[in-house]
Structure 1
Amino acid sequence: MRKPAPTKYRSFSPGGIVGYPSDLFYEEVAFIAFHFHWSLEDILNLTHSDRRRWVEEISKLIA
């Protein structure tokens, strides 16, 4: 097995998903649910980038 390539912040990159702050995740879900009345299942099925985009779009509407 090959050793992972070095990165800027550590000597190797283990790969995988880097954590996303759970508080921020819950805030995004609650924000979308409150404004669009979407189900939890629908919101959880969104990708991270789609969820962030909807948060941005809702923010524009309420500004």
Structure 2
Amino acid sequence: MKIYPTDQLYEEMAFIAYHFHWTNAELMSLEHAERRRWCREISAINRQLNGESANPFEIG
């Protein structure tokens, strides 16, 4: 069984909690893949709101 790095876990949890105001219990109940997916979705929303390209190498 692979152990998930604690620092990365806290970074993901802080990122989601900051944007969605979810509780620690709600965040801890998420599977790793689901938590990572929420991080990607929040990042996509932030890029869209900032007028940034989804692909940082894409010239707009």
Q: Secondary structure at the match of 1:58?
A: helix
CA shift digits 1:20-47 (9 cap, x unpaired): 1111100000000000001110010000
Q: Which residue of 2 aligns with 1:48?
A: 32
Which amino acid in 2 is paired with 1:52? R
TM-score normalised per structure 2 = 0.75
Runs of 4+ in 1 over 3 A off after TM superposition: none
Which structure has the higher relative contact order (CA within 8 Å, separation 6+)?
Answer: 2
1:31 aligns with 2:15: yes
Identify unmatched segments of 5+ residues in structure 1. Answer: 1-16
1:60 aligns with 2:44: yes
What is the total number of aligned residue pairs between the two structures?
Answer: 47
TM-score normalised per structure 1 = 0.71
Higher share of residues assigned helix: 2
Percent identity at matched positions? 49
Q: Which is higher, the Rg of structure 1 or of structure 2?
A: 1
Identify unmatched segments of 5+ residues in structure 2. Answer: 48-60
